[in-house]
Structure 1
Amino acid sequence: MKKTLIAGLVLAALASAVHAQDANTTSGTTDNSSNAANNGGWSGSGEFGYAAARGNSRTDNANAKLTLNQENELWKNNFFLNGLRSKGEVQVQDEQGNTINRFSTTANRYETGASVGYKLDTRSYIVGAARYDHDDFGANLWQGTVSIGYGYIALKNEQAELSFEIGPGYKRYRPADQTITEPDGTVVKTRQDTESEPVARGLVNFKYRLTGNTALEDTFLLEAGSKNKYYQNDIGLSVSMTKKLAIKLGYQVRFNSDVQEGIKHTDTLATTNMVYNF
Structure 2
Amino acid sequence: MPPKSWLRPAATLLALATALPVLAQDNKDPAPGEWTGSAELGLAMAKGNSDSTTLVGKFNTKMQEDKWRYAFGGAFQYAEADQEETSRRYELFTTAGYSITDRSYWFSSLRNERDHYAVNEYQWTYSLGYGIDTIKNDRTKLTFEVGPGYRWSKLQDLRVHENELIARGFMDFSHQFTDTTSVYDRLLVESGSENTFIKNELGVQVSMTQALALKVGLEARHNTNTLPDTKKTDTLTTANVVYAF
- 1:166-203 CA-partner distances (Å, limit 9, x unpaired): 111000122345xxxxxxxxxxxxx3621010001111
Alpha carbons of structure 1 residues 269 and 14: separation in structure 2 relative to 1, 3 Å: closer
The one-letter amino acid paired with 2:211 is K
- Equivalent-residue separation in structure 1 for 2:18 and 2:243 (angstroms): 6
- Equivalent-residue separation in structure 2 for 1:157 and 1:8 (angstroms): 38
- Equivalent-residue separation in structure 2 for 1:175 and 1:134 (angstroms): 11
Counterpart check, 1:122 vs 2:102: yes
- Equivalent-residue separation in structure 1 for 2:183 and 2:11 (angstroms): 22
Q: Does the CA contact (< 8 Å) of 2:118 and 2:227 recur in 1?
A: no
Counterpart check, 1:241 vs 2:244: no
TM-score w.r.t. length of structure 1: 0.79
The one-letter amino acid paired with 1:87 is E
Calculate the aligned-residue CA RMSD, in Å.
2.5
1:132: how far off? 0.7
Residue of structure 2 in register with 1:64 after alignment? 57
1:19: how far off? 4.2
Query: Gaps (5+ residues) in structure 2?
Result: none
Report the number of matched residues: 241
Partner SS state of residue 13, structure 1: helix
1:263: how far off? 2.2
The one-letter amino acid paired with 1:59 is S
The one-letter amino acid paired with 2:222 is F
1:77: how far off? 1.4
- Equivalent-residue separation in structure 1 for 2:126 and 2:208 (angstroms): 37
- Equivalent-residue separation in structure 1 for 2:28 and 2:164 (angstroms): 40
Counterpart check, 1:210 vs 2:177: yes
Counterpart check, 1:43 vs 2:36: yes
Q: Does the CA contact (< 8 Å) of 2:108 and 2:129 recur in 1?
A: yes
Q: Does the CA contact (< 8 Å) of 2:21 and 2:243 recur in 1?
A: no
Alpha carbons of structure 1 residues 223 and 248: separation in structure 2 relative to 1, 3 Å: same
Alpha carbons of structure 1 residues 262 and 20: separation in structure 2 relative to 1, 3 Å: same
Q: How does 1:22-171 map to 2 (within 5 A)?
A: 22=25, 34=29, 36-37=30-31, 40-89=33-82, 103-171=83-151
Residue of structure 1 in register with 2:223 after alignment? 256
Partner SS state of residue 116, structure 1: strand
Identity among equivalent positions (%) equals 34
Q: Does the CA contact (< 8 Å) of 1:139 and 1:265 recur in 2?
A: no
TM-score w.r.t. length of structure 2: 0.89
Higher CA-based Rg: 1
Q: Does the CA contact (< 8 Å) of 1:8 and 1:64 recur in 2?
A: no
Partner SS state of residue 16, structure 1: helix
Alpha carbons of structure 1 residues 123 and 8: separation in structure 2 relative to 1, 3 Å: farther
Select the residue among 199, 207, 211 that pairs with 2:166. 199
